Structure 1
Amino acid sequence: MLPDFDFYLVAIPAVLLVGLSKGGMGEALSLMGVPILSMAVSPVQAAALLLPILIAMDVVSLWIWRKHGDKKTLTMLLPGAIAGIAIGWATSAYVPREALRLIIGLITVLFVLRYVYTVWRSRNGAPIAPKTQRAGPAALWGSFAGYGSFVAHAGGPPFQIYALPLKLDPREYTGTIVRFFAVLNAVKLIPYFALGQLDISNLKTSATLFPLAMVATACGAWIVRRMKPQVFYPFMYTMAFIAGSRLVWDSVAGLIAAR
């Protein structure tokens, strides 16, 4: 049996925001999906409902950005990310979710503040050079992205911490993040099924939201394609700051409520 009208009043805005994010408009919008949907169902069910929708969005995003993406960045980040998912699966019953969200949020906020400081320095004659690909940081932030994506749906900020300083072309950056999370979401299906978080009822409900998800994803991609680098990167760092701040806020509120 499908949910009632009140459920869709909450689900539609949640899917719209996540779809715009999947189109390339930043993880801050995506992080709002589960909290909004949790107004109508439990957080666990909200995460389970969104995973098939995210995969449907991935299909649309992969088609839209099929000609773009940086293979080097993907090959650097994906091994650590898949290992992070495996660790998340093995430790999901033991690691406090709110503590992880707090750590990721604080690191992301500090990362953006460092960027703001670097921009300020550049205006006083110190140029900002693109970072090079580095195996150590890629393994670290890739594993954080995979782990955070599995246990707390918070994989975007760690990806941004590694990838934004590379200063890829905006379209190549977007194509890369689309491919990265398409792989992660597909891999996450296995442990989600194993943990019993996906069932026929949830899948049917998710399917009713697929058309909206696809339209929202295409709209997000349409906007990003028209952004110049001078606009794209400040926008992305702003989205990262909002995402990090949201993680900190939600985790602190969760830790206080649990006391």
Structure 2
Amino acid sequence: MPDLTWLAWALLGLAALIVGLSKTAVPGAGTVAVAIFAAVLPAKQSTGTLLLLLIVADLFAITMYRRQANWRALLRLAPAVVVGVLLGVGFLAIADDAWVKRTIAVILLAVIVITLVRRRISAPVADAGPHRVAAVTYGTLGGFTTMVANAAGPVMSMYFLAARFPVKEFLGTAAWFFAIVNVFKVPFSIGLGIITGPGLVLDAVLLPMVIAGALLGRWIAGRLPQRVFERLVIGFTIVGAVYLLVG
């Protein structure tokens, strides 16, 4: 069992709850969980430990929203995501923790700015002429950020928001996207040594909180107006990115 203080356990429990909540209700909140894990555990170890909890939460999200996925959008993203993951593997192998955190934060903030500007001056991504360029850009960034810090939630949330997906379609598409990508990352994470024995023990202890968060999120999602949903996604994304930048 990892030797942690009661405060550290409390923070990790809260983060696990947020993991489940982010998968079934408010995707942007996942960045807060990333930040908590990175603050309590060594940054690279936190990535491997959090990955397995995310996969469990992905299973709940798929069960709840499996029929709402936009597979056309997922297939459009797939090649760029694979490239991004492989770039992330290389980056994670050579970069230190501080460099990783700040790089991800800068990317997240840039994506927020670009998406908000795009929503004001152009048509939705799904209907716009350059949607393939958007898919390549967001897909590569999403693959890179999910590999190095499990922080692709905000990146892909910005893409799905720009595509103007309704809440349920947004959540269903995101559920399948992250389920597939997170499983794809497991062999690389094992090879990099960021999935460890103590991390597996920690995951077993925190698993009930992930399940509770997923069920709570399902209840919230059915009562969340589209406008409030979008503002929460953007708000949590900004909070998490700023924390990674200055933390």
TM-score, normalised by the number of residues in structure 2:
0.86
Report the alpha carbon displacement of residue 241 of structure 1 after superposing the two structures with TM. 4.1
1:26 — aligned with what?
27
Say if 2:140 is the partner of 1:146.
no
Distance 2:101 2:237 in 1: 15
Contact 1:109–1:241 (8 Å) recurs in 2: no
- Specify the structure having the higher radius of gyration (Cα): 1
- Between stretches 59-68 and 32-41, larger displacement belongs to 32-41
Give the 3 Å change call, closer, same or farther, for CA 31–92 of structure 1 in structure 2: same
Aligned residues: 240
- 2 CA distance for matches of 1:14 and 1:106? 22
In the alignment, is the contact (CA less than 8 A) between 2:102 and 2:244 conserved in 1? no
**Matching residue of 1:246:** 240
State the Cα distance separating 1:164 from its structure 2 match.
1.1
Instruction: Identify the match of residue 132 of structure 1 among 108, 116, 126.
Output: 126
CA deviation after TM superposition for structure 1 residue 89, in Å: 0.7
- Provide the residue aligned with 1:10 in structure 2: 11
Give the equivalent residue in structure 1 for 2:188: 191
The one-letter amino acid paired with 2:16 is V
Deviations along 1:183-226, one digit per CA (max 9) or x if unpaired, are 11111111100011112232122012112211101211221122
Query: What letter is aligned with 2:238?
Result: G
Task: Tell me which residue corresponds to 2:76.
Answer: 76
Percent identical among aligned pairs is: 25
* 1:213 to 2:210 alignment: yes
Q: Which amino acid aligns with 1:189?
A: V
Which residue in 2 is equivalent to 1:43? 43
Q: Distance in 1 between matches of 2:78 and 2:25?
A: 19
Alpha carbons 1:89, 1:191 under 8 Å: kept: yes
Following superposition, which runs of at least 4 residues in structure 1 exceed 4 angstroms of deviation?
2-5
Amino acid in the other structure paired with 1:110 = V
Q: SS where residue 209 of structure 1 aligns?
A: helix
CA offset digits 1:84-125 (Å, max 9, x no partner): 111111232345314422331331331354267x2xx9xxxx
Tell me how far apart the structure 1 counterparts of residues 117 and 13 of structure 2 sit (CA, whole Å): 36
SS in 2 for 1:101: helix
Give the match for residue 111 of structure 2: 108
Structure 1 residue 162: Cα displacement: 2.1
Please tell me whether residue 65 in structure 1 is matched to residue 62 in structure 2: no
1:27-74 C-alpha deviation (Å, 9 max, x unpaired) = 2x2111133234433222222221111111111111111221111111
- 240 and 193 in structure 1: CA distance in 2 versus 1, 3 angstrom threshold: same
> CA–CA distance in 1 between the matches of 2:94 and 2:196?
24
Q: How far off is 1:154 after superposition?
A: 2.0
TM-score (norm 1): 0.82
Q: 5+ residue gaps in structure 2?
A: none
Q: Which has the higher helix share?
A: 2
**Aligned in 2, Cα 1:242/1:98: closer, same or farther, shift over 3 Å?**
same
CA RMSD of aligned residues (A): 2.4
The code of the aligned residue for 1:49 comes to: T
Q: 1:156 aligns with which of 140, 153, 156?
A: 153
Q: Is the 8 A contact 2:35 2:244 kept in 1?
A: no
CA displacement 1:136-184 (0-9 Å, x = unmatched): 2101110100101111322122212322122122101110011111111
